[in-house]
Amino acid sequence: MQLPAIESLRKRASRLFVCATIAYGSAGCHDSSSGGPNTAATTASPPPPPVVPSEPATHGYFSGGVDIGPSNYYGEALLTVDGLVRIYLAGPFGAYDSAGSRQFTGRLEFVAGQARGAGIVLKQECQTAGTTAVCRAEPAEISITTATRSLLAGRITMANNGEVWSFQMGWPTATYLEPATFELAAGQYSEELVGLAIDAVINVDSNGRLYFQSAHSGCVGNGTLTPHLDGTFNVYDVTLLVENCASGYEATNGEFEGLATRTIGDWDWGDWLVISLSTPDGAPTPQAFVMWGSRI
């Protein structure tokens, strides 16, 4: 567990708590609101009610709480206009758990007021130094019960063991509504979360080429950020090739793909490049990780 990651998570979660106390059930906290009280999850998965039409937000970038039984975790979600979904479970509020963090990746469909989809849940950093997590893809279903900027609520249900994630999130920043451009993505970012690049500077050039090299892990990353679809919203398609990782991280060598967004907020939220990645379908060792790059 790296200190920079803990402090970054505390910073983001702290702002989230402030907004949640102001915004739950009301108009919001500047650009955002989130959360709600802990709700014990159950293994039942009834059909979701129609999506609430006010302040519609069937896509966007969200942050908030994820309840698994009596335990509450910090989570972030990125939903694209064409239905791609990435939901990241970091760990308990204020503490990053690299071995316990997980990522859902899948696709949603909004039909006749219902929002359902399917995908897989992957362990994060499951083969990096100091972790014992098993790398495998767990099939899961997702349903959305409320889809507004003030509250994105729903559940993810694991197919194998019936475990349920109940999530309540809101918009932390309005940057998602800005167009995705190479100019907005370009810059230098200090990686503050993922172990394979914890001390690295992520460089993104004016053509969307991404590069980093970590003295800690030895890992070298080369990839691309490309505006998703026509770039109307602040989402990027990402490809990344990780190579040269030293002992303890060598299993992370390989190809990854995913989504990214820029988040520029007020108060303590800061200026970030958030990248959610996972191995392509059919990879022999399925795994995932999220990068939090703080703008330098």
pLDDT digits (tens, 9 = 90+) for 129-161: 556 567 889 999 999 999 999 999 999 999 999
pLDDT along the chain (296 residues), means of 10: 49 48 35 32 41 68 93 94 94 69 93 87 74 80 93 95 94 94 97 89 98 95 98 98 91 94 81 95 89 94
Q: What is the pLDDT of residue 86?
A: 98
Q: What is the pLDDT of residue 183?
A: 97
CB 129, CB 251: distance < 8 Å: no
Name the strand (E) or helix (H) holding 254.
Answer: strand 254-264
Q: Which amino acid is at 47?
A: P
Maximum CA extent, the chain: 52
Parallel, antiparallel or unpaired: strands 201-204 and 209-213? antiparallel
What's the CA gap between 134 and 92, in Å, rounded? 20
What's the CA gap between 64 and 12, in Å, rounded? 10
Q: Which amino acid is at 53?
A: P
Q: What is the pLDDT of residue 67?
A: 94
What's the CA gap between 215 and 175, in Å, rounded? 32
DSSP, collapsed to helix, strand or coil, labels residue 183 as helix
Name the strand (E) or helix (H) holding 291.
Answer: strand 288-295
Q: What is the pLDDT of residue 194?
A: 87
DSSP, collapsed to helix, strand or coil, labels residue 267 as coil
Q: What angle do CA 171, 11, 8 make, to 5 degrees?
A: 105
238: Cβ contacts below 8 Å, ≥ 6 apart = 210, 223, 224, 225, 226, 256, 257, 258, 259, 260, 275, 277
Name the strand (E) or helix (H) holding 16.
Answer: helix 3-23
DSSP string, 103-150: EEEEEEEEETTEEEEEEEEEEBSTTSTT------EEEEEEEEEEEBSS
CB 238, CB 258: distance < 8 Å: yes
Q: Which one-letter DSSP state was computed for residue 32? A: B
Tokens 């039942």, located at residue? 44
Q: What is the pLDDT of residue 198?
A: 85
What's the CA gap between 290 and 89, in Å, rounded? 10
Q: Which amino acid is at 215?
A: A
* Cα 129 from chain centre: 22
Q: Which amino acid is at 174?
A: A
CB 225, CB 204: distance < 8 Å: yes
